[in-house]
Amino acid sequence: MIITTLILALFYSGILAIPTIQPESWSNDTRTVATCESCSVHGHKSGNASASATDAGSGASESSESSEWTIRRLQRKCYKNNQICVWKFGIDCGHDRVTKCYFVVNSLGRNKTATETDSPDHVCGRFTVSSGWSGQFGPGNGFSVLALVDNESQLIAWPSYSDKQIQNGTVVKPDQTYTPKKLKGTDKGGRREDEQSEDEEEGEGSPTSVNSGGW
């Protein structure tokens, strides 16, 4: 229910817009599949881009600097009459390495398939990944949304895919690209606002800690 509510909020607030499509395919990508060293917006080769805040209760706010994350060769394969589904894809932050992500979703019972089951808090390297499904647009128009949280840079992105895109274990082509947003309540160093206030109360020049916890 939490993921479904998040999906609805994102669509009605306009945050989940039609994604930018990047035609580059996984097979042509010569980069190493490994844990991404840095998916932070800082130091991205495309430079900095300003953006306005568009937070509408979604739990995230627009970062003043942005980069793009490309989801490489996403695939969802299901087994046992859709009682078990396996998600597999790579998270490309635009650097030299790609984070490989793999997780399994099990159905919650005979009356609900794994394709329509929300599944939170899967760990993929430095990322925490959750998946959710919605059928709000009627039969044949279902879609899935992933929430990708970079726990180090405190950025989040919501890749979305229609049921038709990922049916029968199809690899999504072309790869889709999304601009991550800064999690609400964190500064550029990844600290929560309450941590920043505590540091200020302790006095100037006090050592600060970086919060690298999950979403």
Q: Over 70: is that where the pLDDT of 75 sits?
A: yes
Q: Are 42 and 65 in contact (CB under 8 A)?
A: yes
More confident call, 111 vs 130: 130
Q: Is 206 helix (H, G, I), strand (E, B) or coil?
A: coil
pLDDT score of 86 = 98
Q: CA dist 156 to 16, 130, 159, 205, 212, Å?
A: 12, 11, 10, 30, 13
Per-residue pLDDT, averaged over 17-35, amounts to 38
CA angle 157, 127, 35 (to 5 degrees): 120
Which pTM value belongs to this model?
A: 0.61
pLDDT score of 185 = 75
Listed in sequence order, the residues at least 6 apart from 158 whose beta carbon sits closer than 8 Å to its beta carbon are 10, 15, 16, 145, 146, 147, 148, 178
Confidence category of residue 66, pLDDT binned at 50, 70, 90: low
What does the alpha-carbon distance between residue 113 and residue 83 come to, in Å, rounded to a whole number?
Answer: 5
Q: What is the pLDDT of residues 132-159, one digit of tens each?
A: 999 999 999 999 999 999 999 999 999 9
Q: Are 132 and 143 in contact (CB under 8 A)?
A: no
The two tokens of residue 92 are 């490309």
Confidence category of residue 67, pLDDT binned at 50, 70, 90: confident
